[in-house]
């Protein structure tokens, strides 16, 4: 035993000294820590941050965005929108090649957008796209059935990866194409190794079409599902950057590490909202007064300050408060237990009622904790709340998607434009049983439908904003959902890193400018 | 030992495996829930058409028995199917992870047997001595401590107070381009805590068992014969007695292998060890049925192989069994 | 003439859960070169303990040699260094055990086990030792010794195994050979063969043999001199013929009467009533008193000492008092 | 020592009495009994002296132990009272342990008895089934069962029972094989007793000593099992158990050691007590070991 310890100690010293001498040359390696497990690496057919982070490194896209929501050239060096808003022309760079050496052409762009339209769960993203014309190898013209102001944002790296048609266009189903796990793209990094659920190794693309980029030699995404193990890895320098960190303990702990910096920038387009959803079709909850009563009883302040230890921000609206479409005048439902009790009595539940609450299995602090908190809080207005835990995501998704729930805690992302991430929750046309993150609340309001449909095609930014403002007022009144807070996403990173991506898409954005300062 | 015995044993093992496959399949397919919804949910939500195409693609719209026949046929050809979650064949997922699991399990097994037997032999020399008492107490403690809790306590201890051993993962990713010996040392370094955590339960049991077994053997006539020959105490203990005392230890080691895999599942989870146990755990939570079935299949196969190896070594160790079947 | 092996006033005690018991209570024995000493008694009388004490194999604890001496050619063995005892065991004093079935290590070949005994005391190569082992197997009358040497104990019959044990015991030409009930576990026909073998061995090697047995028949066949033991004491000692023909102690008489005499009309065996008392229940008097038909008050309170009262030495008040 | 082989004729006692006498003198076993009594007592009656809802958020999260007198063991990540959790968390753990052990024993003894008694094809068939279940990695299989049929105390107990019975079956079979050859079984058969009676009334009572020991140890194993499942998040989330406490607080071990440490110690001491008792019973029933 003693000998063993000594041997291992010696080995530790050997390894330690090896690790402390910079093992990397010029460009160096960036290790990204992640708790999220990607199914595969193709963002064209899979939503979610787990896929988007590596996918945006591997695949380039027509446009990219800066931190002010302004589109920037990427594979498209310029773009035009026709007067009527029904056609968008992309002029592609002519020096872009895929990792296998084949050139990127308008054919690939057209193929990619149509593939995404057909296979990506976000149906509204490219729904108005009727066809894509390719007059020449470096021009693609997107033809729309109606004006679609969200289109430009949908051409971001996170949502519109450009796939090589010669690889993905072989007739196999894109959703389960083998190349999804061995992708070939035109982005700054190429896949070197993908050990599903463990590690993704990306190597610098030496033929990247943007001169002098990327700066790094290698990006490694390490999946560490256990938060404490991940924190240790960050503290030990085993990992250099940890995006999408939402736990208050994690944030508070890594803030103390001398070599790390913490930022909450880089999540504007994600728009992650933590909310309490009501099954508005259920007998007890179809009365808006009950929903309002629960809203008045719920103390956002306690949740964000006490439960989340001040790291998360309150969220009053279906549209994330950092979005330009957010309406500040929306009613906040400041905590008022008397009013809540009065509403309950008005609705005929003066003697209280029994309800159940579900929550997505995952980060406890945002979901389970709030559910547990509501259990003790709603008791005060006579609601006897039973927490119905699900052991796993599929169980929860089955219940909520199947409309078999009363209340549920949920986290839903805005995904940049409301058309992509907001409409799906409130349009009555999107009440689709069995589909998670559709309008599972079964909320139907003709006026809301009308406003959202108008906003989807409105090209004038101010008018569009006004439509969304009215929408927000109505849903806040109807409370099919009570929005609680935005997820306190933070990024912890090594202070020696330069140009850490803090744009609207954060790390779901090509990291071709990130470099080590040494 | 005859090769026909080995053949029969292997054939029987394969039959057991087939049983495992059938049982798993039926169990999982009879459970409530629609796998297509599960798959669609993982993709981020889906429409009815998508569900339909998923059912079509994974053959979920066929009758269960047909699915079973197809599955068994595929397994016989070495195809464990596609994961519902990952866009990869189950066999690749397992291939990526079986190495680390075997490394962990075998290391823990060897560690616990070597240390446990050593302690047990020492203790057996003086059945009423301090070492003997220690082994008894230690064995009971080792048996009673939940393995995941030991792991957590070690993490608390080694994470910040004594950061001499890594507490998560199997390798430093930054060393993945280093020379092979650096990587080997790195892996061994990462192996210490998980292997020790897993070993400690069994270490205690082997210590207790080998103490009892040695005491039994030391009282036997042939040990007296060895002493009467003038053999030294060391030779009596480690040559004459241990060879015989090893027989029950071997039996237990074989039987323990299944438990060891169960323990590895917990240890892998605690230490973020990239093995099959964690894959199993994650797959269960994701309802990734093909992967669950694949892992169960491989885990059972490991037990079957371990049992066959135990049988063989048992026959090697005990000449009385040779030539018998 | 000083004896080859002389045991004097040997006391061995054991700690048990009933407290300390005295297993050997002042045992004195001796044996000369080329002589065979028979030690008889029922099981539990201390014969085997005496043998083990001589070998230095009393398990300590719980056993303890509380007094007395054992001398081999004048060298004191009680309290000798363990290394010295190891050097003597198997070389100068060897032992054959009662149970040939269990006395051989089941996981090694018999050849290897004999060879080990040789190598422990002689500087020979493993190959040579194995060859010697085969020669010994041949010597003890095992057919095709070459093949048998490679067999494991379980492949051999009981008689064969006892021959192996003998081969192992004599492998280093011991001066004293202790045979502890060497034939008890064997068939009658095999018993005779083993005794013949022991006699031959003694002739060839000139060893002194201590034959421990409860079988008076074996004594009559083998022994030159006999010591009768009961409850940890020697109660009668004399030339074999004397004991067999004129047993003094009532216990010895009982033992002789137990021999089924050939050609005798009544085949009914006589038995000694009762059993040997547990050692922890021994009182102050004669240990045999409870089973003896000649017991009087003195027998119950005073231990008789070994002394020549009649024909030859015996430890019995009744003999001393001339009551029998 | 051979010198003591005759002791039985001098001192005769009934085996049960003898075993009890041995057990009574076994200090570790008595320690185990005392420890278990304390734990069971605290679980059953602890809430009389210290009332509290283990699920209720009552205080700031991660209050260290010993700071606030109301919450002597501190609070967990939600600010729930750990003392309340400790006192109520033992119930489900012990219940599942006992229930799972009972299920294990019922399945194991029934199959083992039938196999051992009837032999032949019955034995063959049952032993093949037993081997089959021994090949399945127990925890993994239990996890699958629990998730597929949604976690509750019952499914957990059943799952543990379903994966643990093979050892008991083997043990029972071995005992039956041994005992059925003994004279009193032959005698029972000779007077015309039916198989059913011979199995359950004649052989089983005589096979009980090792089975009792095994049952005791099975309780310990089942408790560890329940803890493992809860730790992985597969326990019943609506029932506070020690395993659940460890699993729920595991993420925060770097910041707070106490919410994990206390329930772990509780599990440890429970299983420790149970196995001390098991060892004691084993020594008491097994005369061969008495001298040691």
C229 close to D (CB below 8 A): no
Please check the confidence at residue C264 and state whether its pLDDT lies above 60.
no
Band of pLDDT at residue D291, cut at 50, 70 and 90: very low
Choosing among D135, D145, D226, which should be mutated to test the B contact, i.e. which has the most B CBs within 10 A? D135
Give the residue, D247 or A495, on which the prediction is more confident. A495
- Minimum CA–CA partner of D224 in chain B: B146
Distances (CA, A) of C278 to A217, A287, B154, D10, D292: 87, 92, 55, 9, 20
What's the pLDDT score for residue A22? 44
Please check the confidence at residue B93 and state whether its pLDDT lies above 50.
yes
Query: In chain B, what percentage of residues exceed pLDDT 90?
Result: 11
pLDDT digits (tens, 9 = 90+) for B131-159: 888 888 888 888 888 888 888 889 888 87
Residue D17 in any domain: the answer is no
Q: Do D6 and C281 touch (CB under 8 A)?
A: no
Query: Which CATH code fits A272-486?
Result: 3.10.105.10
Count of CB atoms situated within 10 Å of the CB of C155 = 16
- Cβ-nearest to C43 among D2, D9, D291: D2
Between A413-417, B263-267, C313-317, D256-260, the lowest mean confidence (pLDDT) is in C313-317
Q: Do A229 and B167 touch (CB under 8 A)?
A: yes
Q: What is the mean pLDDT of residues C173-177?
A: 82
Band of pLDDT at residue B12, cut at 50, 70 and 90: confident
What's the pLDDT score for residue D8? 39
Ranges A55-69, C54-68, D123-137, D189-203, most confident: A55-69
Q: Do D268 and B263 touch (CB under 8 A)?
A: no
Count of helix runs (H) and strand runs (E) in chain B: 13, 0
Ranges A93-97, B172-176, C6-10, most confident: A93-97
- Cβ-nearest to C279 among D3, D9, D291: D3
What's the pLDDT score for residue A115? 94
Distances (CA, A) of A140 to A108, A149, A161, B193, C191: 10, 18, 15, 57, 107
Q: What is the mean pLDDT of residues C119-128?
A: 83
Q: Provide CB contacts within 8 A for A495, sequence distance 6+.
A: A259, A260, A261
Q: How far apart are the CA of A515 and the nearest CA of chain D, in angstroms? A: 31
CA–CA separation, A279 and C210 (whole Å): 98
C and A interact (at least 3 Cβ pairs within 8 A) = no
Q: Name every chain C residue with its beta carbon within 8 A of the beta carbon of D7.
A: 278
Q: Which chains touch C (3 or more CB pairs under 8 A)?
A: B, D
Q: Do C14 and D1 touch (CB under 8 A)?
A: yes
Give the residue, B160 or C102, on which the prediction is more confident. C102
Q: What is the mean pLDDT of chain A?
A: 89
Q: What is the mean pLDDT of residues B74-97?
A: 88
- Cβ-nearest to B221 among C103, C107, C121: C103
What's the pLDDT score for residue B79? 86
Count of helix runs (H) and strand runs (E) in chain D: 12, 0
Half-sphere exposure of C61 (CA within 13 A, CB side): 12
Q: Do D144 and B284 touch (CB under 8 A)?
A: yes
Band of pLDDT at residue D292, cut at 50, 70 and 90: very low
Choosing among A391, A392, A393, A396, which should be mutated to test the D contact, i.e. which has the most D CBs within 10 A? A391
Give the residue, C8 or D14, on which the prediction is more confident. C8
Q: What is the mean pLDDT of chain B?
A: 83
pLDDT digits (tens, 9 = 90+) for A190-249: 999 999 888 999 999 999 999 989 999 999 999 988 888 888 889 988 899 999 998 888
Please check the confidence at residue A79 and state whether its pLDDT lies above 90.
yes
Q: What is the mean pLDDT of residues C291-310?
A: 75
Query: In chain A, what percentage of residues exceed pLDDT 70?
Result: 95
Please check the confidence at residue A54 and state whether its pLDDT lies above 90.
yes
Q: How many CB pairs under 8 A join A and B?
A: 177
Q: Do D77 and A232 touch (CB under 8 A)?
A: no
What's the pLDDT score for residue A446? 95
Please check the confidence at residue A18 and state whether its pLDDT lies above 70.
no
Please check the confidence at residue C23 and state whether its pLDDT lies above 90.
no
pLDDT digits (tens, 9 = 90+) for D2-58: 444 444 334 445 667 777 777 777 788 888 899 999 888 888 887 777 777 777 777
Q: Do A361 and B285 touch (CB under 8 A)?
A: yes
Q: Do D1 and C281 touch (CB under 8 A)?
A: no
* Domains of chain C, first to last: 5-92+174-320 (3.40.50.300)
Q: Could you give phi then psi for residue B151, rounded to 5 degrees?
A: -60, -45
Distances (CA, A) of D189 to A253, D111, D194, D236: 74, 21, 7, 49
- Cβ-nearest to D238 among A364, A389, A392: A389
Residue D265 in any domain: the answer is yes
Q: What is the mean pLDDT of residues C236-249?
A: 77
Q: Do B266 and D267 touch (CB under 8 A)?
A: no
Q: Name every chain D residue with its beta carbon within 8 A of the beta carbon of A247.
A: 251
Burial class (CB in 10 A: 0-12, 13-18, 19+), C60: exposed
What's the pLDDT score for residue A6? 44
Q: Nearest-CA neighbor of C96 among C112, C80, C117, C78?
A: C117
Q: What is the mean pLDDT of residues D161-175?
A: 89
Listing DSSP states for B192-228 in one string gives: HHHHHHHHHHHHHHHHHHHHHHHHHHHTSHHHHHHHH
Please check the confidence at residue A17 and state whether its pLDDT lies above 50.
no
Contacting D residues, span 41-100, partner chain B, CB-CB under 8 Å? none
Q: What is the mean pLDDT of residues C117-143?
A: 83
Please check the confidence at residue B58 and state whether its pLDDT lies above 80.
no
Could you report the predicted ipTM of this complex, rounded to two decimals? 0.79
pLDDT digits (tens, 9 = 90+) for A368-419: 889 988 988 999 999 999 888 777 777 888 889 889 999 999 999 998 899 9
Q: How far apart are the CA of D1 and the nearest CA of chain C, in angstroms? A: 9
- Cβ-nearest to B185 among A15, A175, A393: A15
Please check the confidence at residue C268 and state whether its pLDDT lies above 60.
no
Residue D190 in any domain: the answer is yes
Q: Do C21 and D3 touch (CB under 8 A)?
A: yes
Count of CB atoms situated within 10 Å of the CB of A376 = 15
Q: What is the mean pLDDT of residues C209-230?
A: 82
D272 close to B (CB below 8 A): yes
Q: How far apart are the CA of B138 and the nearest CA of chain A, in angstroms? A: 15
What's the pLDDT score for residue A97? 95
- Cβ-nearest to D254 among A231, A307, A376: A231
What's the pLDDT score for residue A7? 45
Pick the CATH number of B95-274 from 3.40.50.1820, 2.40.110.10, 1.10.10.970, 1.10.3720.10: 1.10.3720.10
pLDDT digits (tens, 9 = 90+) for B158-169: 877 777 888 888
Give the residue, C90 or A410, on which the prediction is more confident. A410
Residue D229 and residue D185 in contact, taking contact as beta carbons nearer than 8 Å: no
What's the pLDDT score for residue A293? 95
What's the pLDDT score for residue B33? 67
Which 3 state secondary structure label does DSSP give C11? strand
Name the helix (H) or strand (E) containing B96: helix B90-125
- Minimum CA–CA partner of A218 in chain B: B174
D14 close to C (CB below 8 A): no
pLDDT digits (tens, 9 = 90+) for A330-374: 988 999 999 999 999 999 999 989 999 999 987 778 888 899 889
Please check the confidence at residue C109 and state whether its pLDDT lies above 60.
yes
Tell me the β-bridge partners of C211: C38, C179
Band of pLDDT at residue A3, cut at 50, 70 and 90: very low
pLDDT digits (tens, 9 = 90+) for A55-76: 999 999 999 998 888 999 999 9
Q: What is the mean pLDDT of residues C66-79?
A: 81
Q: Do B146 and D224 touch (CB under 8 A)?
A: yes
Q: Nearest-CA neighbor of C45 among C68, C24, C18?
A: C24
pLDDT digits (tens, 9 = 90+) for A287-306: 999 999 999 999 999 999 88
What's the pLDDT score for residue B47? 65
- Minimum CA–CA partner of B288 in chain D: D144
- Cβ-nearest to B189 among A11, A29, A122: A11
Residue D1 in any domain: the answer is no
Q: Name every chain C residue with its beta carbon within 8 A of the beta carbon of D1.
A: 14, 16, 23
Instruction: Domain count for chain D, please give it.
Output: 1
Residue listed under structure tokens 């709603």: A378
Q: How far apart are the CA of A168 and the nearest CA of chain B, in angstroms? A: 14
Q: Name every chain B residue with its beta carbon within 8 A of the beta carbon of A172.
A: none
Residue A304 and residue A365 in contact, taking contact as beta carbons nearer than 8 Å: no
Tell me which fold the domain A10-264+490-516 belongs to: D-Maltodextrin-Binding Protein; domain 2 (3.40.190)
Tell me the β-bridge partners of C76: C71
The CATH number of the domain holding residue D88 is 1.10.3720.10
Please check the confidence at residue A455 and state whether its pLDDT lies above 80.
yes
What's the pLDDT score for residue B43? 64
CA–CA separation, B183 and A19 (whole Å): 11
What's the pLDDT score for residue C158? 78
Please check the confidence at residue A128 and state whether its pLDDT lies above 60.
yes
CA–CA separation, A287 and B24 (whole Å): 46
What's the pLDDT score for residue C90? 78
pLDDT digits (tens, 9 = 90+) for B214-238: 888 888 888 888 888 777 778 888 8
Band of pLDDT at residue A8, cut at 50, 70 and 90: very low
User: What angle, rounded to 10 degrees, do the helices at D82-118 and D27-49 form?
Assistant: 130
> Domain spans of chain A?
10-264+490-516, 272-486
- Minimum CA–CA partner of D78 in chain A: A369
What domain range includes position D147?
Answer: 27-47+66-291
Please check the confidence at residue A181 and state whether its pLDDT lies above 60.
yes
Residue D179 in any domain: the answer is yes
Contacting D residues, span 9-48, partner chain B, CB-CB under 8 Å? 28
What's the pLDDT score for residue C241? 76
What's the pLDDT score for residue D3? 41
What's the pLDDT score for residue A23? 44
- Cβ-nearest to B230 among C90, C107, C152: C90
């Amino acid at each position: 035993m003693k000998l063993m310890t000594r041997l291992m100690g010696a080995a530790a010293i050997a390894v330690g000294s090896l690790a402390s001498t910079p093992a990397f040359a010029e460009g160096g390696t960036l290790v990204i820590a992640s708790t999220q497990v990607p199914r595969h690496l193709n963002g064209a057919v899979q939503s979610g941050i787990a896929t988007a982070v590596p996918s945006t490194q591997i695949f380039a896209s027509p446009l990219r965005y800066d931190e002010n929501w302004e589109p920037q050239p990427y594979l498209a060096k310029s773009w035009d929108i026709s007067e009527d808003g029904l056609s968008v022309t992309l002029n592609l760079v002519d020096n872009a090649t895929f990792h296998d050496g084949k050139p990127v052409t308008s054919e690939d762009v057209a193929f990619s957008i149509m593939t995404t339209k057909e296979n990506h769960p976000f149906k509204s993203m490219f729904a108005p796209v009727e066809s894509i014309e390719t007059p020449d190898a470096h021009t693609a013209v997107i033809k729309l059935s109606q004006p679609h102001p969200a289109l430009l944002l949908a051409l971001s790296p996170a949502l519109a990866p450009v796939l090589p048609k010669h690889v993905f266009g072989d007739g196999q189903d894109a959703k389960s194409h083998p190349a999804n796990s061995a992708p070939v793209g035109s982005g700054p990094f190429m896949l070197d190794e993908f050990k599903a659920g463990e590690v993704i190794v990306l190597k610098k693309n030496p033929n990247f079409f943007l001169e002098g980029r990327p700066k790094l030699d290698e990006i490694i995404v390490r999946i560490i599902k256990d938060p404490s193990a991940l924190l240790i890895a960050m503290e030990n320098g085993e990992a250099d950057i940890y995006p999408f960190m939402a736990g208050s303990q994690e944030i508070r702990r890594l803030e103390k590490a001398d070599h790390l910096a913490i930022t909450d920038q880089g999540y504007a387009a994600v728009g992650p909202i933590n909310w309490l959803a009501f099954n508005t079709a259920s007998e007890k909850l179809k009365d808006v007064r009950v929903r309002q009563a629960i809203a008045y009883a719920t103390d956002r302040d306690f949740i964000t300050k006490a439960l989340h230890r001040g790291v998360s921000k309150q969220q009053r609206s279906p549209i994330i408060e950092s979005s330009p479409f957010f309406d500040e005048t929306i009613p906040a439902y400041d905590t008022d237990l008397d009013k809540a009790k009065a509403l309950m009595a008005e609705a005929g539940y003066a003697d209280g009622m029994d309800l159940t609450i579900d929550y997505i299995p995952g980060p406890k602090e945002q979901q389970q904790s709030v559910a547990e908190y509501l259990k003790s809080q709603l008791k005060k207005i006579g609601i006897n709340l039973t927490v119905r835990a699900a052991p796993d995501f599929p169980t929860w998704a089955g219940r909520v998607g199947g409309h078999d729930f009363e209340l549920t805690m949920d986290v839903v992302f805005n995904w940049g434009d409301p058309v992509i991430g907001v409409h799906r929750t409130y349009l009555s046309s999107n009440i689709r049983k069995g589909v998670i993150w559709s309008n599972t609340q079964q909320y139907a309001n003709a006026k809301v439908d009308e406003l959202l449909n108008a906003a989807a095609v409105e090209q004038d930014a101010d008018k569009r904003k006004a439509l969304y403002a009215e929408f927000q007022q109505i849903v806040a009144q109807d409370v099919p959902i009570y929005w609680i807070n935005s997820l306190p996403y933070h990024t912890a990173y090594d202070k020696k890193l330069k140009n850490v991506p803090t744009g609207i898409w954060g790390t779901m954005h090509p990291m071709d400018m990130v470099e080590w300062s040494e | 030992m005859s090769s026909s015995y080995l053949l029969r044993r292997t054939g029987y093992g394969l039959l057991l495996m087939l049983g495992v496959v059938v049982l798993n399949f039926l169990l999982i397919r009879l459970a409530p829930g629609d796998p297509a919804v599960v798959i669609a949910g993982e993709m981020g939500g889906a429409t009815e058409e998508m569900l339909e195409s998923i059912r079509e693609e994974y053959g979920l719209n066929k009758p269960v028995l047909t699915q079973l026949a197809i599955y068994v046929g595929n397994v016989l050809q070495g195809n464990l199917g596609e994961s519902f979650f990952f866009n990869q064949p189950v066999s690749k997922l397992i291939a990526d992870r079986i190495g680390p699991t075997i490394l962990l399990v075998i290391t823990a097994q060897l560690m616990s047997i070597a240390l446990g037997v050593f302690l047990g032999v020492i203790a057996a020399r003086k059945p009423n001595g301090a070492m003997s008492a220690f082994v008894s107490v230690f064995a009971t403690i080792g048996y009673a401590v939940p393995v995941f809790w030991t792991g957590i306590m070690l993490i608390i201890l080694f994470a910040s107070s004594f950061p001499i051993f890594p507490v998560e993962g199997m390798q430093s990713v930054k060393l993945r381009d280093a020379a092979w010996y650096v990587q080997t040392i790195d892996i061994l370094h990462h192996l210490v805590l998980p292997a020790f955590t897993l070993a400690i339960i069994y270490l205690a049991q082997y210590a207790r068992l080998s103490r009892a077994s040695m005491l039994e053997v030391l009282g036997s006539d042939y040990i007296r014969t060895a002493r009467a020959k003038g053999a030294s105490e060391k030779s009596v203990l480690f040559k004459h007695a241990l060879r015989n005392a090893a027989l029950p230890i071997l039996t237990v080691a074989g039987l323990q292998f299944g438990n060891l895999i169960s323990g590895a599942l917990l240890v892998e989870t605690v230490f973020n060890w990239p093995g099959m146990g964690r894959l199993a755990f994650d797959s269960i939570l994701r309802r990734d049925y093909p992967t669950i079935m694949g892992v169960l299949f491989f885990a059972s196969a490991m037990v079957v192989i371990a049992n066959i190896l135990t049988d063989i070594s048992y026959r090697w160790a005990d000449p009385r069994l040779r030539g018998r079947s | 003439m000083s004896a080859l092996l002389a045991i004097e006033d040997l006391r061995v005690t054991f700690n048990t859960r009933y407290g300390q018991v005295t297993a050997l209570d002042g045992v004195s024995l001796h044996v000369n070169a080329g002589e065979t000493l028979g030690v008889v008694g029922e099981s539990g009388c201390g014969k085997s303990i005496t043998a083990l004490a001589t070998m230095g194999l009393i398990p300590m604890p719980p056993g303890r040699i509380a007094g007395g001496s054992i001398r081999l050619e004048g060298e004191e063995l009680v309290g000798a260094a363990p290394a010295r005892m190891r050097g003597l065991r198997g070389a100068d004093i060897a032992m054959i055990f009662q149970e040939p079935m269990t006395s051989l290590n089941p996981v090694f070949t018999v050849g290897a086990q004999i060879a080990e005994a040789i190598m422990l005391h002689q500087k020979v190569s493993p190959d040579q030792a194995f060859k010697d082992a085969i020669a010994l197997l041949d010597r003890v009358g095992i057919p095709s010794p070459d093949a048998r040497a490679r067999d494991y104990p379980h492949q051999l019959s009981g008689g064969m195994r006892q021959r192996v044990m003998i081969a192992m015991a004599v492998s280093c030409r011991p001066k004293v050979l202790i045979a502890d009930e060497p034939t008890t576990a064997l068939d009658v026909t095999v018993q005779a063969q083993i005794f013949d073998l022991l006699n031959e061995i003694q002739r060839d090697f000139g060893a002194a043999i201590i034959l421990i047995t409860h079988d008076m028949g074996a004594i009559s066949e083998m022994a030159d001199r006999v010591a009768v033991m009961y409850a940890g004491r020697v109660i009668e000692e004399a030339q074999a013929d004397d004991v067999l023909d004129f047993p003094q102690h009532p216990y010895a008489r009982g033992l002789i009467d137990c021999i089924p005499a050939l050609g005798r009309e009544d085949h009914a065996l006589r038995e000694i009533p009762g059993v040997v008392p547990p050692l922890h229940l021994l009182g102050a008097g004669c240990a045999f008193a409870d089973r003896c038909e000649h017991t009087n008050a003195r027998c119950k309170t005073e231990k008789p000492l070994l002394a020549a009262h009649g024909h030859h030495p015996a430890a019995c008040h009744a003999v001393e008092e001339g009551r029998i | 020592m051979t010198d003591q082989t005759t002791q039985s004729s001098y001192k005769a006692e009934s085996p049960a009495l003898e075993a009890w006498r041995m057990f009574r003198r076994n200090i570790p076993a008595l320690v185990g009994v005392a420890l278990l009594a304390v734990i069971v007592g605290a679980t059953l009656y602890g809430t009389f002296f210290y009332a509290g809802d283990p699920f209720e958020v009552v205080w700031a999260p991660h209050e260290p132990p010993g700071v606030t007198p109301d919450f002597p063991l501190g609070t967990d990540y939600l600010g729930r009272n750990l003392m309340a959790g400790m006192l109520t968390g033992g119930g489900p753990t012990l219940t599942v342990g006992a229930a799972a052990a009972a299920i294990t024993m019922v399945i194991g003894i029934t199959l083992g008895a039938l196999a051992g008694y009837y032999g032949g094809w019955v034995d063959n068939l049952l032993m093949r089934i037993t081997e089959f279940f021994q090949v399945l990695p127990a925890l993994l299989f239990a996890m699958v069962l629990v998730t597929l049929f949604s976690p509750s105390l019952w499914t957990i107990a059943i799952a543990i029972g379903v994966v643990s019975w093979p050892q008991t079956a083997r043990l029972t079979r071995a005992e039956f094989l041994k005992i059925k050859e003994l004279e009193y079984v032959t005698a029972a058969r000779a007077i015309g007793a039916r198989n059913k009676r011979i199995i359950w009334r004649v052989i089983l009572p005589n096979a009980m000593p090792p089975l009792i020991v095994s049952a005791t140890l099975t309780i310990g194993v089942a408790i560890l099992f329940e803890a493992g499942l809860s730790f992985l998040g597969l326990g019943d989330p609506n029932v506070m158990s020690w395993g659940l406490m460890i699993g729920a607080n595991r993420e925060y071990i770097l910041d707070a050691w106490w919410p994990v440490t206390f329930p772990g110690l509780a599990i440890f001491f429970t299983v420790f007590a149970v196995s001390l008792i098991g060892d004691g019973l084993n020594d008491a029933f097994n005369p061969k070991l008495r001298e040691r």
